[in-house]
Amino acid sequence: MENVRRRAWIVTAIATVALLALIYIGSRGLRDFDSSLIGYCVATIFAVAAMTWRYTLWLGRPPTWRYFRAGWANFLSVANFRRYALMIPKAWWTDIFGQTFILRRSTTRWVMHMCIFWGVLLSVMVTVPLTFGWIRFTLKGIDHYTAWFFGFPIFTFPIAARSGFAIYHVLDFTAALLLIGLAIAFWRRITDMGPVSYTHL
């Protein structure tokens, strides 16, 4: 058990240092880092370290490690590669991005899951790069903005256009998605007697 903990500390330290290096590089030596977001940045670093620590400890258990190693061996085997190459993209759509298996049960439940999933995912995809200083916007002329990622210009968009409005309000849209999903979840929790009776049991 002591070896597992030592390995977990080492992996956690490597992951944390790698993330700190990416923050430093992506923000161009912290020149693009927004100091007002340092609290979010520190919290995210601690969250990544904690998740790495727990995941490494979980993998260190002999039964888990055997399943983990056997799973990768099956996935990387030549005999199964062709089948997995088609099956995995389908599984990503049906089980993660589209969650169509929920749609077969209930349209309302599917809308709820989609709103919560995409609301959280898109919020993280926007918030984390902004917090780390990987994304920034600079004024070009008097009516355009340029979006930068890792110090490289990505695209330029007009401020007054619909695209500019959508970019600057993307977190409002993702928050609305999340609130819709949570509202449906609360409504189902109150009105659907199945989950209510199961909880009381």
Contacts of 115 by beta carbon, 8 Å cutoff, 6+ apart: 177, 178, 180, 181, 184
Q: Phi-psi region for residue 16, left (φ > 0), alpha (ψ -120 to 50) or beta? A: alpha
Reported confidence tier of residue 84, pLDDT bands at 50, 70, 90: confident
* Percent share of the chain, pLDDT over 70: 95
Torsion, Cα 168 169 170 171, to 10 degrees, reads 110
- The pLDDT value given to residue 196: 56
pTM of the model: 0.77
Both tokens of 104, joined, read 């077969």
Residue-wise pLDDT tens digits, 26-49: 988 988 888 888 999 999 999 999
Rounded to a whole number of angstroms, the distance between the first and last alpha carbons of the chain is 38
Does residue 143 have a pLDDT over 80? yes
Residue-wise pLDDT tens digits, 110-132: 999 999 999 999 999 999 999 99
Both tokens of 55, joined, read 């995941």
- The pLDDT value given to residue 162: 85
pLDDT averaged over every residue in the chain = 86
Does residue 97 have a pLDDT over 80? yes
DSSP state of 37: G
